Amino acid sequence: MVPVFNRTKDPELTWQVGMLCCFLSGIVQTVGSFCTDWLRRTTPRAALLCPLAGIALAFLCLGFVFQIFQNPALALLPAVIILTFYSSHLRLPGRLPAALLCIVVGIFAALILQALNLYQLPDTQAITSPGFYPPKPVNVWDFLRRTEGWKYLPIILSMSLLDTIVSLQVLESVKVAGDDYPTRPSLLVNGVATLGAAVFGSAFSTTLYFGHMAHKSFGARAGYSVLNGVTTMLICLTGVVPLVLHFVPLAVVAIIVIWFGLAMVGQAFTEVPKNHAIAVCFGLIPMLASWALELLDLGVRKGGSSLFAVADSFGEELPIYGLIAISQGAVLTSMLWAATLAFTTDRRFFRAALWIFAGAILSFFGLIHAFQLTPQGIDTKIGWCAAPEFAISYALAAIFLVVCHFLTRRPKSIALVEMPQEVLQ
């Protein structure tokens, strides 16, 4: 949506393109619900959990942590309250939620700091009038006939595929927490809900939510999900989000999101075989690189320049092109390398070869590593032979792993069998 708006400055067209993306994503997720369960069953748990951990660490934790430490007088005490109650499983009288205490303390802190001229609440004029704003169906044909959105079809399809894979990863995370939900109905409802969102004017697809294990550890059951959905719906339909954020600064409640992110990172290490921990560590790198690239791009743009203009000046001090390459398709790259390393750790080299060869296919078509740096930013380069260097390298790596597979099957292999001590002497 951002490239469309930057080029056309037309908010209506940008919204139409967003709805097209959402609609096509719903179709892909619906179709994927019937043919992706095999991927979930054959993928190492480390490869399913570590991309979620990377997303949680990079995009749920770090940015919000910085907000807390930027506003310590406002947010540090609420952060300690949440961390204490959530980590120790203490209960407030009457089983009141710890988040409520966090919010109350944050509101009082904001009001006191404002009275001391140490903090300024957002401008009340920016608050919309509360009311009832029901969703209205849109004419689907209006956004389907727009040619602008179809120009991005390769990107839309690849991102939709990514949404489906992330849903599989969430289901595996839920299974680890003790609830093994079947793949097909879970993804099917997700896809149908996304289609419904597009029909009612949403540019954003739905997804299975993170942090299931953390909610469950606090005693949440099915009723919690229902209550959560109803509450979120009422907040959105009544237009009170700006009003809530006026009195409850985001920095105060950020620690709640951080906790769920930390729970997912911890799960990625504790719920995999011990010898797969290194695979998880390596799988975190692409997501952290993606987050670092966003920070770098923001800093350069705030300085009045662009990555296109300054990329070559980084030289060897910062391998910027490598940072961009590993960030493209970060979820898939994380999954790919974590699975490969998990299988090599277990000396299952043929399976590792299949995964690394998948990297050759994905990079060949530009689903990972392929990009084009332009004055407008980083464009995803999807198409035929999009990243040939990576495709060839991955293919050669697959051949190497196949060789390792056959060598380890030979009991007298000189290359991979330890030499007897008397021979060495």
pLDDT digits (tens, 9 = 90+) for 252-295: 989 999 998 999 899 999 989 999 999 999 999 999 999 999 99
Domain boundary among 272, 301, 324: 272
DSSP letter string, 387-404: SHHHHHHHHHHHHHHHHH
Rg (CA), the chain: 24
Q: Of 414, 419, 330, 412, nearest to 53 (Cα)?
A: 330
Q: How far is CA 115 from the centre of its chain?
A: 39
Average the pLDDT over 291-306 and give the result. Answer: 90
Is the pLDDT reported for residue 410 higher than 70?
A: no
Q: Which amino acid does the sequence have at 154?
A: P
Same domain, 2 and 63: yes
What is the band of 137 on the pLDDT scale with cuts at 50, 70, 90?
Answer: very high
DSSP letter string, 297-334: HHHHHHTT--HHHHGGGGTTTS-HHHHHHHHTTHHHHH
Q: Between helices 330-345 and 277-302, what is the axis angle to 10°?
A: 160
**The total number of structural domains that make up the chain:** 2
Q: Which of 63-67, 345-349, 421-425 has the lowest mean pLDDT?
A: 421-425
Same domain, 364 and 411: yes
Q: Between helices 72-88 and 250-270, what is the axis angle to 10°?
A: 40
Same domain, 256 and 157: yes
Domain boundary among 272, 292, 313: 272
Question: To which residue do tokens 């056959």 refer?
Answer: 406
CA distance 210 to 264: 8
What's the pLDDT at 30? 93
DSSP for residue 425: -
Same domain, 116 and 142: yes
List the structure tokens of 414: 């000189």
3-class SS of residue 258: helix
**Partners of 380 in beta bridges:** 371
Same domain, 248 and 325: no
Q: Which of 43-52, 69-78, 130-139, 215-224 has the lowest mean pLDDT?
A: 215-224
What's the pLDDT at 127? 57
State the sign of the Cα–Cα–Cα–Cα dihedral 229, 231, 237, 242.
Answer: negative
Same domain, 251 and 350: no
pLDDT digits (tens, 9 = 90+) for 226-259: 988 898 889 888 888 877 777 788 889 899 999 9
The continuous run of DSSP H or E covering 372 comes out as strand 371-374
Same domain, 228 and 302: no
Q: Do the Cβ atoms of 308 and 373 come closer than 8 Å? A: yes
**Partners of 378 in beta bridges:** 373
Same domain, 235 and 330: no
What's the pLDDT at 411? 61
Q: Do the Cβ atoms of 417 and 358 come closer than 8 Å? A: no
Same domain, 171 and 305: no
Pairing of strands 371-374, 377-380: antiparallel
φ, ψ of residue 346 in degrees (nearest 5): -85, 5
Is the pLDDT reported for residue 60 higher than 90?
A: no
The continuous run of DSSP H or E covering 73 comes out as helix 72-88
Range of the domain at 355: 274-425
Is the pLDDT reported for residue 345 higher than 80?
A: yes
- What Cα–Cα distance (Å) separates residue 425 from each residue in 233, 273, 373, 421? 75, 37, 58, 6
Q: Which residues contact 283 (CB under 8 A, 6 or more apart)?
A: 46, 47, 50, 51, 53, 54, 334, 335, 337, 338, 341
Q: Do the Cβ atoms of 373 and 310 come closer than 8 Å? A: no
Same domain, 280 and 333: yes
Same domain, 267 and 285: no
Domain boundary among 245, 272, 299: 272
CA distance 395 to 419: 31
Is the pLDDT reported for residue 422 higher than 60?
A: no
CA distance 95 to 61: 27
What's the pLDDT at 425? 45
**Partners of 372 in beta bridges:** 379
Q: Of 63, 78, 70, 22, nearest to 288 (Cα)?
A: 63
pTM of the predicted model as reported, rounded to 2 decimal places: 0.83
Same domain, 33 and 98: yes
